[in-house]
Amino acid sequence: MHDIIVVGSGPAGAMACAELVERGFNVALVDYGDDDPGMRARVPDLPFGRLRAEDPGQRGYLLGDNLEGVPRSGTRVGAQLTPPRQFVNRAAEKLLPVNSPDFQPMQSLALGGLGAAWGTACCTYSPEECALAGLDHAAIAAKYPDVIREAGISGPEQDPCTGHWWNGMTGHQPPLDIDTNSASILEAYRRDPGAWLKRGFALGRIPLAVNSRPHRDREANPYFDTDFYGEARRSAYRPRYTVERLLKAPNFTYIPGCLALTFGETPDGVELSCSRGGERTAVRGRRLLLCAGALGSARLALASMPLARRETSLLCSAYVYYPTLNLRMLGRPAADRRHSMAQLMAVFGDLSRPESTCSMQLYSYRSLLLFKIIKEMPLAPWAGLLVARAMQDALSIFGVFFPDAAGPTKTLRLGKSVSSPAPDLDISYALTEEQAALQRKLERGLSRCLLRLGCVPLGRVDPGKAGSIHYAGTLPRINPVNPDLYTQADGRLGGCERVFVGDSSSWNWLPCKGPTFTAMAGARAVAGQVAASLGGRQ
């Protein structure tokens, strides 16, 4: 029998395993573990410009062997995954069915979970945000340095702007170089940051889980702008790297190919029932830690707990993006040396009230490929191509995220197992009128700020209700939809002695800032509670 079974190898699961293995426990990681190393290996270790000019096999990984990287009409969740990343939701689309007219979440059964396609933005949460989410800020803040140590994070020094999303952090690497386009926007902002802050707009460098210096066995980012295709010398953190490192430890076991279905407490531990190669199999441990993501952990808990109603709450950040034309760069050459991840971050709104702010990430990567921009233009293709070429150096894309609060209009209900061994999830999700009004107000103000910065919005793209891929709150501390299903303050699932929740499922509220960095710190904190329940130090 294992000491602890961890379900899911995503950012939370990998970090929890690292914490528990370091403490000497016998840990089993149960995972489906889909992967596509062959496709990844096809991306040459060359700058994007050179591989475009020299590699005759580029179509295979840029568009996919069956052109699966060419998005069809409409914008859907997951359409942004490049062919080498499409394994991330490949198995989940078949094995984790969701029924909803308008909420199609991205789920993952990949090795590394959704973290295999994570944009790597890292944000600290303030005490106010932690209080709203039901998190222990002191415990989370104590674990941030361990996440920095494991993942290798490059970030800015704290200033009045970056302090809104990168507060009190030390021990990280220097920030990555900024590209020409984003540098011109930041320069415009820095002419009078005080006035911008008075308007409620803070802009600055973004911390990323990408190496600017070699870290452990991973290299520094080579600025090839291929980060959404290959692994660019493993510079961007993926949870798979932690799993690969732990495999060398004698007290760690990786059990791939398992689709976890239900759990049950036994007199001396927990039994996890899985589907493996079409057969039912059981894994036994003294404790179980759920890190299968907000939807995955909820599916397991709803299928396993003795509940009167198999229904729960759901949180998801609303998300839209604005392609903009940076007038300062129009007709001027942008340097090709760049990485593909976000260059800048901003928060906007009432900066003293996290419920009334939105966050923004600015991208200006060249490797987007022009046809994806032309697809959105109401122009004949020849004209779209000319316009896209004229705008290419000056194109900046602002992705905007909004906070989310739970309520009776956002629910997730367990259905029957129809097409998969795992049961269906029926999702109904609608923003309240109050939330929608706040979002409209923030977007209006944000558009004005973008214009003042010299960035003319060219449109507004809404990828759908689940488009942010930031999900949480399905097993919260206080559940407004099903009070019988909740997580206790120490991370234990309500009504259970030996089952813990390690991911963002346990949050009561979702901030506008990216949740992954804090979810990783939270997983390490809950892992400490699991250790304490087995007689270790907390």
- Give the nearer residue to other proteins in terms of CB position, either 195 or 390: 390
Q: Residue 296 phi/psi, 5° resolution?
A: -65, -45
Sign of the Cα torsion 385, 389, 394, 396 reads positive
Sole binder of other proteins in the list 131, 188, 369, 430 (CB under 8 A): 369
Question: Is residue 101 near other proteins by the rule CB under 8 A?
Answer: no
**Smallest Cα–Cα separation from 160: which of 123, 132, 190, 139?**
190
Residue 514 near other proteins by CB under 8 A: no
* Two structure tokens written together for 255: 């059990």
Q: Which of 401, 389, 417, 525 lies closest to 466, judged by CA?
A: 401
**What angle is formed at CA 365 by the lines to CA 207 and CA 460, rounded to 5 degrees?**
95
- Helix, strand and coil in the chain, % to nearest 5: 35, 20, 45
The minimum distance between CB 392 and other proteins, in angstroms, equals 4
Sketch the per residue contact string, 235 through 274, with other proteins: x for CB under 8 A, - otherwise.
----------------------------------------
Indicate which single residue of 37, 59, 94, 282 sits in contact with other proteins (rule: CB under 8 A).
Answer: 59
The answer to the question of residue 146 lying near other proteins (CB under 8 A) is no
Whole-angstrom distance, CA of residue 259 vs CA of residue 275:
5
Q: Which one of the spans 4-12, 115-123, 141-149, 387-395 is the region binding other proteins (CB under 8 A)?
A: 387-395
Q: Identify residue 436 by its one-letter amino acid code.
A: A
- Which span sits near other proteins by CB under 8 A: 53-61, 103-111, 138-146, 439-447? 53-61
- Residue 399, phi-psi category: left (phi > 0), alpha (psi -120 to 50), beta (remainder): beta
Piece in contact with other proteins (CB under 8 A), picked from 36-44, 123-131, 248-256, 365-373? 365-373
Tokens 């984790």 locate to 96
* DSSP calls for 277-315: TTEEEEEEEEEEEE-SHHHHHHHHHHHHS--SS-EEE-E
Q: Does 376 bind other proteins (CB under 8 A)?
A: yes
Does 416 engage in binding with other proteins (CB under 8 A)? no
Q: On the CB side of 530, how many CA atoms lie within 13 Å of its CA? A: 34
CB of 260 to other proteins, least distance (A): 38
Query: Residue from 72, 198, 248, 416 that binds other proteins (CB under 8 A)?
Result: 72
Could you say which of 188, 197, 307, 385 contacts other proteins (CB under 8 A)?
385
Q: Of residues 374, 422, 472, 496, which one binds other proteins by CB under 8 A? A: 374
Kindly identify the residues of this chain, within the stretch 304-363, that bind other proteins according to CB under 8 A.
327, 330-334
Q: What is the binding site for other proteins (CB under 8 A)?
A: 52-56, 58-59, 62-63, 67, 69-74, 327, 330-334, 369-371, 374-387, 389-394
